[in-house]
Amino acid sequence: MNSQRTNRAVQQVGLLFIAPAMILFVVYVLYPIGYIVLNSLYEWDGINERVFVGIQNYRHMFFEDEIFLISLRNVTYWIFLTIFPQMFLGFIFAYILNHDIGGRNIARAIIYMPAIISPVVIGIVWQRILNPFGGLLADLGYKTGLTFLAQPYISDHKMAIFAVIAVNVWQWTGWSMLLYLAGLQSINEEIFESTRIEGVGKWQEIRFIVWPMLKGTHLTLILLGVIGALQTFDLVYSLTNGGPNNASQMLSTYIFLRSFRLQGMGYGSAMSVFTLVLALVLSLFQIKVLGAKFQVAE
C-alpha cells in the first residue's frame, strides 16, 4: 500500500515538473496549429465575419491556383539545387581546411561569414551585384569583355529563382563546412594513419572511409535543408519579392502575399496547413527511408 502511494506521489511530482513545458507546448504549438487548421476551412480576410467554405480553399489551391503550383515547383528546385551543392562544396572546404595549412583559420572565418549575416542584408547587397545596369557583375563584364555577365538575373522570369538559389548556396556553404569540420575532427586520427600506412590514396580515403563515417552530418544537412526550403522567406522577399510575375515565389512568400497583402487569411491558412504536412512527410521520409539506406551502407 505504501509503495503504491509512493509511486503515485512520484508521478504527481513528475507531472508537476513537466506541466510548465506542456502548457507552453499547448499554448504556442498545438493551439496555433488548431487555429490555422480551423481557419483553412473558411473564407476570411482577417477582419470581417468568416464564411465557412469547407475544403474549397484546398480544392482551389491544387486545381486552380497556378502561382501555388509555381511555388511548389520552386521549393523542389530549392531542395535539390541548394542542399546537395552546399553539402558538396562544404565538404570540399572542410576537408581542405581540416589539414594543417597556413591561414586556415582566416579562410574558415571568411567562408563561414555569410552564414551570420542577415539574409535581408544579403538580399539587398546581391540585388546591387546582379543589377544588369551598373551592378558589379555587369561592370566587370563590360570592363573585361565578358559581356555575358551582364544578364537580367533577377528580372528574367526564367532566371530569377536560380539566381536566388545561387545566392542561398553562397550564403550557407559555410554552415555546411562548419558541420563537416566538426564531423572530420571527431574521426579518430589513427584511422587516417592506418590508411597512410596501407598506401590508400586520397580519393579512396574520402570515398570509402571519410564520406561513410560522416553519415550523421549528411542526414543533418539534408533534414535542415528540407525544412529550410519550406521556411525560406527573407532572402527571396528582399532579393526578388517573389517576382518577376511570381516566377520566384516560394511557399512562405506566397502565404505571406495571400494572407496579409491580399487579405486572404483563410486561403493562406490552407497553404500553411499544407506546408506543415509536407514538412512532416518529408522529414519522416528522410528519417525512415534515407536513414535506413545509410544504415545498410554501413
> Does residue 40 contact residue 269 with C-beta atoms inside 8 Å?
yes
> CA-based angle 218:221:226, to the nearest 5?
125
Of 117, 86, 36, residue with least CA distance to 226: 86
Mean pLDDT of the residues in the chain: 87
DSSP collapsed to 3 states, the chain = CHHHHHHHHHHHHHHHHHHHHHHHHHHHHHHHHHHHHHHCCEECCCCCCCEECCCHHHHHHHHCCHHHHHHHHHHHHHHHHHHHHHHHHHHHHHHHHCCCCCCHHHHHHHHHHHHHCCHHHHHHHHHHHCCCCCCHHHHHHHHHCCHHHCCCCCCCCCCHHHHHHHHHHHHHHHHHHHHHHHHHHCCCHHHHHHHHHCCCCHHHHHHHHHHHHCHHHHHHHHHHHHHHHHHCCHHHHHHCCCCCCCCCCCHHHHHHHHHHHCCCHHHHHHHHHHHHHHHHHHHHHHHHHHHHHHHHHC
Of 222, 190, 195, 224, residue with least CA distance to 208: 195
Of 71, 76, 38, 75, residue with least CA distance to 57: 38
Lowest-confidence region among 199-203, 246-250, 284-288: 199-203
Provide the phi-psi class of 150: left if phi over 0, else alpha when psi is between -120 and 50, else beta: beta
Extents of the domains making up the chain: 64-297
What is the distance between the terminal CA atoms of the chain, rounded to a whole angstrom? 51
Question: In degrees rounded to 5, what are phi and psi of residue 52?
Answer: -70, 125
Q: How far apart are CA 232 and CA 225, in angstroms?
A: 10
Cis amide prior to 244 (ω within 30 degrees):
yes
Mean pLDDT of 236-250: 92
pLDDT of residue 3: 63
Q: What is the pLDDT of residues 79-93, one digit of tens each?
A: 999 999 999 999 999
Q: Within a 13 Å sphere around the CA of 86, how many CA atoms are in the beta-carbon half?
A: 32
Its sign, for the CA torsion 47, 50, 53, 58, is positive
Q: Which amino acid type is present at position 227?
A: I
Lowest-confidence region among 46-50, 188-192, 237-241, 243-247: 188-192
pLDDT of residue 138: 87
164-197 as b/e: b if 16+ CB within 10 A: bbbbbbbbbbbbbbbbbbebbeeeeeeeeeebee
Q: What is the pLDDT of residues 49-83, one digit of tens each?
A: 899 998 999 999 999 999 999 999 999 999 999 99
Overall CATH class of domain 64-297: mainly alpha
pLDDT of residue 235: 93
Question: What pTM value is reported for the model?
Answer: 0.86
**Cell triple for residue 228?**
529550410
Q: What is the pLDDT of residues 36-48, one digit of tens each?
A: 999 999 998 888 8
pLDDT of residue 298: 39
> Does residue 36 contact residue 42 with C-beta atoms inside 8 Å?
no
